[in-house]
């Protein structure tokens, strides 16, 4: 199968959860029998419009990272490549709008990978993308509900959750320095404060906690820990590689998920795979509940939903009575290889359905 990924930015130029998710899929497909082309803004040096790296073919649509220029030139790039299927992000919406007429002309299905809306995406933008996609892939039921509200048909939306590297979990060492862990990019949605407030309720007890991640809110979060008089028990580890993060999670007992916005709670998934007790605070824009609430969590998963810092503190105390684990085999079904299989099935379904019309 020849798959064209439309991705104005790649990991070479921007690091976001949506781009990381797309990059993992590109790598997995490139390592198998599929041919992958990435239509992007030029991130490499030189005048050559094409660049190959680790079996992936990058084609420069334009070189200025301009949405307008990219959207204007995208139809010509798609005609030149003539792929079997086009994989495109939901934002910026003008890219999907530019690609759709060409896909229709060439009889190529357009699969939209919908992670989250950006602040400058209007309601009409989102409705346009939702109604024009031949298939929409979302990471969670929470995002599926959002996409359906924008007008996408039930049959056109496929949930493919985020994945993990289970072999890495199995082989990683155990760093048993911390009892409690929070991990995420520390931005305005991180909401580490709930975690710290819960810890402050337990300041008289013996525990050690780690906050993994970096970002614009880190200084404020560290200040909050000092104000709550728990700074000496909380270690800020910064951004870690997956291997180092897994070692910390395997050694920890409890993982706290309190972020306000999570299309998929990826860090919570890794923590559960590492055997942690997962405690998630309910948030309207977070899909974390899909991993720990009774009706959807995997057999053997330990943890609960909470609504505030006091309940989080109570659950941390309750978790101390549970045994410590360093992995959970149930989460092997989230391995990255399974994610690839689900995408290929989605692509083939889209191609077969497109052939009927």
> What pLDDT, in 10s, does the model give residues 171-217?
999 999 999 999 999 999 999 999 999 999 999 999 999 999 999 99
Q: Please check whether residues 178 and 265 belong to one and the same domain.
A: yes
Q: CATH number of the domain at 277, please.
A: 3.40.50.2000
pLDDT for 295 equals: 78
> What pLDDT, in 10s, does the model give residues 64-85?
999 999 999 999 999 999 999 9
Q: Quick one: which of 285, 315, 282, 303 has its CA closest to 198?
A: 315
Q: What is the chain's mean pLDDT, rounded?
A: 95
CB-based contact 254:316 (threshold 8 Å) = yes
Which range of residues forms the domain containing residue 234? 166-334
pLDDT higher than threshold 90 for residue 353: no
Q: Please check whether residues 303 and 247 belong to one and the same domain.
A: yes
The pLDDT-based confidence of 355 (bands split at 50, 70, 90) is low
Beta pairing class for 56-62 and 85-89: unpaired
Q: Please check whether residues 176 and 265 belong to one and the same domain.
A: yes
pLDDT for 357 equals: 44
pLDDT for 122 equals: 92
Residues 306, 280, 146, 161, CA torsion sign: negative
Q: Please check whether residues 90 and 188 belong to one and the same domain.
A: no
In percent, how much of the chain has pLDDT > 90? 93
Inter-CA distances, 155 with 33, 170, 263, 313, Å: 28, 37, 20, 42
pLDDT for 120 equals: 87
The single-letter DSSP state of residue 286 is E
Q: Please check whether residues 291 and 183 belong to one and the same domain.
A: yes
pLDDT for 33 equals: 83
The pLDDT-based confidence of 294 (bands split at 50, 70, 90) is confident
Q: Quick one: which of 238, 187, 186, 182 has its CA closest to 209?
A: 182
pLDDT higher than threshold 80 for residue 262: yes
> What pLDDT, in 10s, does the model give residues 91-140?
999 999 999 999 999 999 999 999 999 988 999 999 999 999 999 999 99
> What pLDDT, in 10s, does the model give residues 2-34?
999 999 999 999 999 999 999 999 999 999 889
The pLDDT-based confidence of 55 (bands split at 50, 70, 90) is confident
What are 27's two structure tokens?
A: 């790598």
Instruction: Answer with the residue of higher pLDDT: 294 or 161.
Output: 161
Q: What is the DSSP string of 247-280?
A: HHHHH-SEEEE--SEESS-HHHHHHHHTTPEEEE
Q: Please check whether residues 132 and 213 belong to one and the same domain.
A: no
Q: Which residues does residue 303 pair with via DSSP β-bridges, in sequence order?
A: 278
Number of structural domains in the chain: 2
In percent, how much of the chain has pLDDT > 70? 99
pLDDT for 242 equals: 96
Q: Please check whether residues 202 and 235 belong to one and the same domain.
A: yes
Q: Please check whether residues 267 and 298 belong to one and the same domain.
A: yes
The pLDDT-based confidence of 54 (bands split at 50, 70, 90) is confident
Q: Please check whether residues 27 and 53 belong to one and the same domain.
A: yes
Q: Please check whether residues 12 and 77 belong to one and the same domain.
A: yes
pLDDT for 163 equals: 95
Q: Quote the pTM value.
A: 0.95
Q: Please check whether residues 17 and 106 belong to one and the same domain.
A: yes
Quick one: average pLDDT of 243-261?
98
The single-letter DSSP state of residue 164 is B
Vertex 102: Cα angle to 87 and 47 (nearest 5): 75
CB-based contact 162:129 (threshold 8 Å) = no
HEC readout, 46-103: CCCCEEEECCEEEEEEECCCCHHHHHHHHHHHHHHHCCCEEEEECCCHHHHHHHHHHH
Q: Please check whether residues 302 and 208 belong to one and the same domain.
A: yes
Q: Distance between the two ends of the chain, CA-based, in angstroms?
A: 20
């Amino acid at each position: 199968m020849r798959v064209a990924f439309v991705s104005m930015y790649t990991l070479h130029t921007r690091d976001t959860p949506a781009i990381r998710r797309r990059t993992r899929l590109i790598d997995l497909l490139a390592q198998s029998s599929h041919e992958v082309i990435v239509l992007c803004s030029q991130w490499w040096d030189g005048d050559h419009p094409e660049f190959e790296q680790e079996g992936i073919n990058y084609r420069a649509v334009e070189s200025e990272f301009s949405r307008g220029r990219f959207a204007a030139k995208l139809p010509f790039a798609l005609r030149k490549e003539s792929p079997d299927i086009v994989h495109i992000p939901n934002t910026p919406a003008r890219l999907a709008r530019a690609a759709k007429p060409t896909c229709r002309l060439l009889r190529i299905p357009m699969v939209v990978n919908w992670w989250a809306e950006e602040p400058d995406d209007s309601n009409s933008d989102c409705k346009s993308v939702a109604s024009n996609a031949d298939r929409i892939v979302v990471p969670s039921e929470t995002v599926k509900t959002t996409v359906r509200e924008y007008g996408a048909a039930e049959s056109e939306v496929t949930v493919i959750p985020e994945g993990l590297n289970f072999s890495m979990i199995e082989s990683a060492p155990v760093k048993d320095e911390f009892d409690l862990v929070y991990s995420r990019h520390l931005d305005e949605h991180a909401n580490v404060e709930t975690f710290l407030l819960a810890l402050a309720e337990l300041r008289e007890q013996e525990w050690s906690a780690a906050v993994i991640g970096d970002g614009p809110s880190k200084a404020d979060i560290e200040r909050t820990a000092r104000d709550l008089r728990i700074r000496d028990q909380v270690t800020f580890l910064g951004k870690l590689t997956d291997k180092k993060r897994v070692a910390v999670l395997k050694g920890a007992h409890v993982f706290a998920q309190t972020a306000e916005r999570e299309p998929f709670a990826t860090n919570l998934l890794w923590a559960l795979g590492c055997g942690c007790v997962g405690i998630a605070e309910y948030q309207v824009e977070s899909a974390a509940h899909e991993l720990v609430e009774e009706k959807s969590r995997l057999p053997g998963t330990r943890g609960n939903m909470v609504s505030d810092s006091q309940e989080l503190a109570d659950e941390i105390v309750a978790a101390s009575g549970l045994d410590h684990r360093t992995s959970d085999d149930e989460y092997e079904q989230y391995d990255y290889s399974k994610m690839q299989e689900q995408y290929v099935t989605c692509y083939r379904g889209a191609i077969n359905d497109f052939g009927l019309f």
